[in-house]
């Protein structure tokens, strides 16, 4: 959160204007600043990341099948299904947990309309290969970039790849507007479409030309974003220090796997996922999770379960064959990571993990 005085200062003008929502000055200002910070062509703000994705898919008028992965947050698959589209699950790569591009082409049918990959943990998907496949088969590419705020690849904003990307500004993400999200894109014609869909399809006072929803980011949320954006670089810097510490302390331990850093990527250090292989380290992910919890260390099974295993999807779809996604989902644990996490705390967390493993090996 930004310093309270800074936020109060930012929202003062709202008490004079009484303009609280419906794309006011703060909303416009934040869109402008984000376009620069994210190094993208266009930004459309939304009330949250999920509605941004759901309405983006509607704006693109997609129909049929969408290739995606089940190793993600509920939102990605829900947005697909709530648009009447059918998710076709592709497996993920063990290297960085993003979509395994070598398996995409086998899943393409005459009904395929799009690929929706996820930049999981801020790891960059193989954007070049995905783009090659998309061109070859004339498919749209929409990235779930909820984890990838500020990430750059080859010096370009991550949102410049594909037809469009969704970012989430939820309170738990690297950058937040309390709740909030955005669609970023290259084609200007999407602007009007998205604007209409997030505001009931209202074109003017007497014309409603789209079956829209209500997904507007209000002025107090936008003001929060403007304040947080001023501090984002220092936040990411502090996270980087935490990331390095974790790598130092947990690297090289038998049975513990940490993703290697990708080349040409500017990271946001949003998450620190650690994979525990019981056959090598003697303890399962669930045992580590429980033991750490008893010590007051709260890790997260993220993402578990796979969206293809959700109760609500059991009867609806063939789950597809995604053994790597299943393995990662069963064994992954995301460590505590935030800017103010101290070196001592990281030491404590890593020592506890090592203790649990040593005990198990006896
Ligand atoms: C957070 C998240 C979303 C949804 O964003 P909200 O702003 O919470 O609606 C979608 N996909 C992924 C991968 C996420 O982590």
pLDDT tens, position by position, 280-295: 889 999 999 999 999 9
Asked if 130 contacts 360 with a C-beta cutoff of 8 angstroms, the reply is no
- Of 356, 332, 324, the C-alpha closest to 276 is 332
Q: What radius of gyration do the chain's Cα atoms show? A: 21
pTM above 0.85, yes or no: yes
pLDDT of residue 362: 65
**Pairing relation of β-strands 140-144 and 164-168?**
parallel
Classify each residue of 284-307 as buried b or exposed e, where b means 16 or more C-beta atoms within 10 Å of its C-beta: bbeebbebbeeeebebeeebbebb
Mean pLDDT calculated for residue range 33-37: 98
What pLDDT, on a 0 to 100 scale, did the predictor assign at position 360?
83
Task: Report the pLDDT value the prediction gives residue 90, as an integer from 0 to 100.
Answer: 97
CA distance 77 to 285: 25
Residue 314 has pLDDT above 90, yes or no: no
Residue 66's pLDDT is: 97
Mean pLDDT of the region 217-226? 98
Of ligand 1's listed atoms, the one at least distance from the Cα of 173 is 1
CA distance 46 to 143: 16
Residues 23 and 1: their CA atoms lie apart, in Å, by 23
Structure tokens at 246: 């974790």
Q: Is 140 in the pocket of ligand 1 (CB under 6 A)?
A: no
- Reported as a pLDDT band with limits 50, 70 and 90, residue 318 is low
Of the candidates 177, 171, 179, 169, the residue with the CA atom closest to the CA atom of residue 148: 169
CA dihedral 244, 245, 247, 248 (to 10 degrees): 120
The pLDDT of residue 319 is above 80:
no
Contacts with 355 (C-beta within 8 Å, 6 or more apart), sequence order? none
Phi, psi of 201 (to 5 degrees): 75, 20
The number of the ligand 1 atom at minimal distance from the alpha carbon of 169 is 7
Report CA(198)–ligand 1 centroid distance (Å): 17
Q: Report the pLDDT averaged over residues 259-276.
A: 97
Ligand 1 neighbourhood includes 147 CB (under 6 angstroms): yes
Q: Is the pLDDT of residue 218 over 70?
A: yes
pLDDT tens digits for 118-139? Answer: 999 999 999 999 999 999 999 9
How many Å lie between the centroid of ligand 1 and the Cα of residue 221? 17
pLDDT digits (tens, 9 = 90+) for 149-159: 999 999 999 99
Q: Is the CB of 196 under 6 A from ligand 1?
A: no
Q: Which of 168, 180, 273 to mutate to test the pocket of ligand 1 (most atoms within 8 A of CB)?
A: 168
Mean of the per-residue pLDDT values of the chain: 96
170-179, 247-256, 324-333: least confidently modelled range: 247-256
Tell the residue nearest (CA) to atom 5 of ligand 1: 49
Q: Is the CB of residue 162 less than 8 Å from the CB of residue 142?
A: yes
Q: Which phi and psi (to 5°) does residue 268 adopt? A: -110, -5
User: 50 in ligand 1 pocket by Cβ < 6 Å?
Assistant: yes
* Residue whose CA is at the smallest distance from ligand 1 atom 7: 49
Nearest ligand 1 atom to the CA of 51 is 9
Query: 23: which 2 tokens?
Result: 């794309």
- Tell me the C-alpha distance between 222 and 345, whole Å: 33
DSSP type of residue 245: H
Residue 361 pLDDT: 74
In sequence order, the 6+-apart residues with CB closer than 8 A to the CB of 287 are 356, 360
């Amino acid at each position: 959160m930004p310093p309270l005085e800074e936020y109060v200062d930012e929202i003062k003008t709202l008490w004079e204007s009484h303009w609280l929502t419906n794309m006011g000055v703060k909303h416009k200002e934040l869109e402008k600043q984000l376009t620069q910070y994210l190094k993208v062509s266009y930004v459309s703000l939304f009330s949250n990341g999920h509605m941004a994705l759901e309405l983006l898919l509607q704006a693109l008028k997609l129909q049929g099948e969408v290739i995606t992965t089940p190793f993600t947050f509920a939102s990605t698959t829900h947005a697909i299904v709530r648009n009447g589209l059918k998710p076709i699950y592709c497996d993920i790569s063990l290297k960085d947990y993003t979509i395994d591009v070598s398996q995409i082409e086998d899943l393409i049918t005459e009904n395929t309309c799009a690929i929706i990959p996820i930049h999981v943990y801020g790891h960059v998907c193989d954007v070049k290969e995905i783009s090659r496949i998309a061109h070859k088969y004339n498919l749209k590419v929409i990235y779930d970039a909820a984890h990838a705020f500020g990430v750059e690849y080859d010096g370009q904003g991550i949102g410049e790849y594909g037809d469009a990307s969704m970012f989430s500004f939820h309170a738990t993400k690297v950058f937040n507007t309390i709740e909030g999200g955005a669609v970023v894109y290259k084609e200007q014609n999407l602007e009007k479409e998205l604007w209409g869909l997030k505001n009931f399809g209202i074109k003017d006072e007497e014309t409603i030309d789209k079956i829209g929803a209500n997904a507007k980011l209000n002025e107090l949320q936008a003001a929060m974003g403007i304040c947080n954006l001023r501090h984002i670089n220092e936040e990411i810097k502090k996270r980087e220090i935490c990331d390095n510490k974790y790598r130092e302390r947990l690297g090289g331990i038998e049975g513990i796997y940490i993703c290697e850093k990708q080349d040409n990527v500017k990271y946001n250090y949003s998450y620190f996922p650690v994979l525990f292989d019981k056959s090598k380290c003697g303890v399962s992910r669930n045992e580590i999770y429980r033991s750490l919890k008893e010590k007051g260390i709260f890790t997260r099974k993220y993402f578990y379960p796979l969206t293809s295993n959700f109760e609500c999807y059991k009867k609806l779809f063939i789950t597809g064959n995604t053994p790597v996604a299943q393995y990662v989902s069963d064994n992954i644990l995301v460590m505590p990571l935030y800017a103010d996490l101290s070196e001592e705390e990281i030491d404590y967390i890593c020592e506890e993990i090592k203790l649990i493993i040593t005990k198990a090996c006896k």
